[in-house]
């Protein structure tokens, strides 16, 4: 499931993030890549040693992302990683790759089920730089407004097209879901969308009660904790 999450960040929050990124130290993105990805990765990321800058950025980005109802419904997160903040300038790109299946450090490992990209600047500020995700329906090109995010299975082959003008700024994170299977996650998200509408419109109706019961018991059946 490739799912758009609109308006994760508002204009003021984006301004604060952009100010932090303008002065933050960046390093070669290859430093955070696995062995296979290093060969195709050409970008820069905020240095993980910039603790003060990262704390401010994470409080804003992750604080808003984890509260978003579409994120909560579509991800059903069990463990979430701190994001990387990446920039792509002209000539930079990230070739075809699949995200590492197990991430984190010893003692804090997690399975990467879902990848998320949060767009931090407007698409008019750069040419190229599309996130290209290979799906069962072919390649999907994603280039969203600042503040929007997209989530997709970490098992997907994907790439970032070369930036030819300007600068692309994104936050990227991964998570382990309560529901490992992406097909089941998609079904649950769709069912939950209908469930929430029924509960809002007619919470005491038989339809709302039945759909709610079905959703809850499917989560119980498919949940992986």
pLDDT in tens, 136-185: 889 999 999 999 999 999 999 999 999 999 999 999 999 999 999 999 99
On whether the CB atoms of residues 188 and 77 are closer than 8 A, the answer is no
**Cα–Cα distance between 2 and 105 in angstroms, integer?**
27
Tell me the percentage of the chain whose pLDDT exceeds 70.
Answer: 100
Residue 72 in contact with residue 28, Cβ under 8 Å?
A: no
Give the DSSP letter of residue 165.
E
* C-alpha torsion 99→104→110→115, nearest 10: -40
Mean pLDDT of 30-56: 92
In the block, tokens 């098992």 appear at 155
pLDDT tens-digit map of 10-26: 999 999 999 999 999 99
Question: Percent of the chain scored above 90 by pLDDT?
Answer: 93
User: What length is written for the chain?
Assistant: 225
pLDDT for the residue numbered 37: 82
Q: How many CB atoms lie within 10 A of CB 165?
A: 11
Global pTM reads 0.95
Enter the CATH code of domain 3-177. 2.60.120.620
Written as one string, the DSSP assignment of 189-214 is HHHHHHHHHHHHH-TTSHHHHHHHHH
Residue 127 has pLDDT above 80, yes or no: yes
pLDDT at position 225: 83
> Phi first, then psi: what are they for 193, rounded to 5°?
-60, -45
Cβ contact 32:81 at 8 Å:
no
Q: Which residue has the tokens 């082959």?
A: 157
Annotated domain spans of the chain: 3-177, 182-222
For residue 34, the model assigns a pLDDT of 77
> Mean pLDDT, the chain, as a whole number?
96
The pLDDT tens digits of the residues spanning 76-111 come to 999 999 999 999 999 999 999 999 999 987 678 999
């Amino acid at each position: 499931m490739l799912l758009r999450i609109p308006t994760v960040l508002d204009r003021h929050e984006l301004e604060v993030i952009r100010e932090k990124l303008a002065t933050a130290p960046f390093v070669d993105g290859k430093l955070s890549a696995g062995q296979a990805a290093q060969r195709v990765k050409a970008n820069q990321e905020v240095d993980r040693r910039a603790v003060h800058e990262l704390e401010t950025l994470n409080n804003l980005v992750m604080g808003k992302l984890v509260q978003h109802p579409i994120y909560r419904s579509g991800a059903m997160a069990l463990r979430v990683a701190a994001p990387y903040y990446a920039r792509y300038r002209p000539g930079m790109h990230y070739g075809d790759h699949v995200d590492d299946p197990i991430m984190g450090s010893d003692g804090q490992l997690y399975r990467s089920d879902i990848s998320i990209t949060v767009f931090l600047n407007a698409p008019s500020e750069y040419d190229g730089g599309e996130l290209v995700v290979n799906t069962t329906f072919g390649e999907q090109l994603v280039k969203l407004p600042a503040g929007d995010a997209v989530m997709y299975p970490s098992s997907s082959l994907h790439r970032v097209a070369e930036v030819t003008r300007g600068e692309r700024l994104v936050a990227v994170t991964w998570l382990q879901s309560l529901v490992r299977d992406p097909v089941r996650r998609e079904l649950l998200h769709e069912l939950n969308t209908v469930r929430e509408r029924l509960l809002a419109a007619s919470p005491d109706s038989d339809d709302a009660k039945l759909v709610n019961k079905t959703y809850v018991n499917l989560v119980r059946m498919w949940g992986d904790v």
